[in-house]
Amino acid sequence: MHFEILILGSNAALPAFDRNPTSQIVHHHDRLFLIDCGEGTQKRFNDFKVKRSRLEVIFISHLHGDHVFGLPGLINSFNLNGRTSRLLIFGPAGLRRFVETSMEISHAHINFEILIHEFDTEEPQLIYENEELSVHSFPLKHRVPTAGYRFEEKRKLRKFKAELISVYNIRHEDIPSIKQGKDYVTAGGEIISNQVLTEDPPLPRSYAFCSDTVYDTDLVPYIKGVDVLYHEATFMTELKVQARDRMHSTSAEAAEIASKAGVKKLLLGHFSSRYRDLSGLLEEARMIFPESYLALEGHYFQVGEN
Amino acid sequence: MHFEILILGSNAALPAFDRNPTSQIVHHHDRLFLIDCGEGTQKRFNDFKVKRSRLEVIFISHLHGDHVFGLPGLINSFNLNGRTSRLLIFGPAGLRRFVETSMEISHAHINFEILIHEFDTEEPQLIYENEELSVHSFPLKHRVPTAGYRFEEKRKLRKFKAELISVYNIRHEDIPSIKQGKDYVTAGGEIISNQVLTEDPPLPRSYAFCSDTVYDTDLVPYIKGVDVLYHEATFMTELKVQARDRMHSTSAEAAEIASKAGVKKLLLGHFSSRYRDLSGLLEEARMIFPESYLALEGHYFQVGEN
């Protein structure tokens, strides 16, 4: 079952060297989610052939322009492409006013429902779930209200060994409870342990997104053990002071956080436009956390093993 | 003296085939003007190395998203690049609310003055001038309030033949009036005709921008005789009915208007995303008006001869 991240935009505020402001697709099973929507996101949908109709939910981390100014154009294009299904958008207070103003002044007649859910970024919370996945938000420390997001698969039912039905004469109506972990009692009163009847389900996979944020160990509990962590890495260590002042992180700091949180893989992004060559950012991170990667645009990153 | 148009975006509402929504630079002498600002305009500034600091005025034709959604990002980037000089923006009512809302919700602290002048697009008027150029707006017929723009050089002073100073003992203080067309009276009372003392100045050059608009001969007087006309050409003739319904034009209709207005050169733009190959649009226009050209992105078009 699909669980992967497609990077659409990886640059900090100023677009440079053909790198675009922040946006990325979380592709889980049949659904697409968008995190952040910098200017040009709709063009990246074209460039990388993203299936617009599968996008159900947009998560906005904060309202700095490089994370949200692509939203009016994306909504407009969805409309021109004939979208009818509902679009859910999560983000900090102010988001609704921005979207509604943009649609009003541009005389857009949107033919699908847009549900904008503004939430308190300070309050860690479950903000979205479907039958397969939950999304929690958690606070990031930046210059304005900012949320990180953790996507986590729900624990699946145990895998029932269907070949044992005839061995133990298992009744069809008992299978759901066996999948939930219960033992089985045969017609003759014999107890068959669940361990015999089932296998472990695949481990739930998880992805966390942290941008923009200053170096902040407070966020470690929220991203503990995720398979893939995206963490902003605006600067190299030489600009550590500037990073702190602007409430951004260096790539070494991103790697520190990845290490403390025991994640499996780290994606670095939100690169300052001063860096044409990103290899220095990667090297600094890998010194601390070897499983670090540059979140280059158009690249896909698998979440977990299966 | 420079007078040229640089096309930044030439597509209709949906970006396609690497074509972007409407925007273009009018480069006159040392100044840059921007007409329309679709999403991605700031990236086109990078792509074509446009000197941001020289941009003084932005003219917005109408508030459909594909003509204005790039404005917040452009302003933001100007700010991050350290702009301090004033930016003047002209456009229909609603523009100020859009820009101000975008800046407010994105927590932008803009360090330069932005003057937004909303004007009545129904009323043909002089909306801007400097010492070299005037810009008139005029009404276009589209689904929402829309203005066309005509850029026109001011008539220059006559060229004084400096080599005649010693011949007629011309006093320095009399030269300005000679440049304005007056005859010269020598100390001995002899009248020297201005024709002898001066040459004709270069002809004023002019450029007109018409997008978006249905086919409308009412606009001919406003664009009469310009050196270069940009006229939208969203569809080919086969979609003439759709063009009328959506209040757009076909390329043949653009050519009709160019012909009726006696312009020297026609630029076709605002191409529908249904056309990967634009040669059909060009051919249809050239059947009617041979001096037709596709307004391809990154292309420069000279206005006038000198």
- DSSP states of B44-94 as a string? HHHHTT--GGGEEEEE----SHHHHTTHHHHHHHHHHTT--S-EEEEESTT
Instruction: Tell me, yes or no, if A66 is annotated catalytic.
Output: yes
- Judging contacts by C-beta atoms under 8 Å, the chain A residues touching residue B106 are 63-65, 68-69, 98
Res B188: pLDDT = 87
Res A1: pLDDT = 82
The nearest CA of chain A is from the CA of B80 a distance in Å of 8
Whether residue A285 contacts residue A181, with contact meaning beta carbons closer than 8 Å, is answered with no
Whether residue B133 contacts residue B104, with contact meaning beta carbons closer than 8 Å, is answered with no
Interface test with B, best of A66, A81, A106, A242 (most B CBs within 10 A): A106
The answer on pLDDT for A239 being more than 60 is yes
Q: Please answer yes or no on whether A94 and B77 come within 8 Å at the CB atom.
A: no
Residues 102-141, chain A: which have Cβ within 8 Å of B?
102, 104-108
Catalytic residue, from B66, B120, B183, B216: name it: B66
Closest by Cβ to B69, choosing from A13, A15, A72: A72
Q: Please answer yes or no on whether A46 and B15 come within 8 Å at the CB atom.
A: yes
Give me the half-sphere count of Cα atoms (radius 13 Å) on the Cβ side of residue B206.
20
Q: Please answer yes or no on whether A65 and B98 come within 8 Å at the CB atom.
A: no
pLDDT, chain A, mean: 95
Q: Where in chain B is the domain with CATH 3.60.15.10?
A: 3-156+202-302
In DSSP notation, B240-289 reads HHHHHHTT--BHHHHHHHHHHHT-SEEEEE-B-TT-S--HHHHHHHHHH-
Where does the pLDDT of residue A15 fall: very low under 50, low under 70, confident under 90, or very high at 90 and above? confident
Res A273: pLDDT = 94
Where does the pLDDT of residue A306 fall: very low under 50, low under 70, confident under 90, or very high at 90 and above? low
What ipTM does this complex have? 0.90
Res A202: pLDDT = 87
Which residues does residue B268 pair with via DSSP β-bridges, in sequence order? B231, B294
Q: Which of A26, A53, A265, A2 is nearest to A128 (CA)?
A: A26
Lowest-pLDDT choice from A182-186, A239-243, B269-273: A182-186
Res B118: pLDDT = 98
What's the fold here for domain A3-156+202-302? Metallo-beta-lactamase; Chain A (3.60.15)
Task: Kindly state the average pLDDT of the residues A41-53.
Answer: 94
Q: A78 at the B interface (CB within 8 A)?
A: no
For residues A30 and B149, what is the distance between their CA atoms, to the nearest angstrom? 48
Tracing tokens 């992967």 back to the chain, one arrives at: A4
- Judging contacts by C-beta atoms under 8 Å, the chain A residues touching residue B70 are 39
pLDDT tens readout for residues A107-129: 999 999 999 999 999 999 999 99
Task: Kindly state the average pLDDT of the residues A188-203.
Answer: 91
Return per-residue pLDDT of chain B as tens, 306 residues: 899 999 999 999 888 888 999 999 999 999 999 999 999 999 999 999 999 989 999 999 999 999 999 999 999 999 999 999 999 999 999 999 999 999 999 999 999 999 999 999 999 999 999 999 999 999 999 999 999 999 999 988 999 999 999 899 898 899 999 999 999 998 888 999 999 999 999 889 999 999 999 999 999 999 999 999 999 999 999 999 999 999 999 999 999 999 999 999 999 999 999 999 999 999 999 999 999 999 999 999 999 975
Which residues does residue B133 pair with via DSSP β-bridges, in sequence order? B153
Res A271: pLDDT = 97
The nearest CA of chain B is from the CA of A305 a distance in Å of 36
Q: Please answer yes or no on whether A64 and B40 come within 8 Å at the CB atom.
A: no
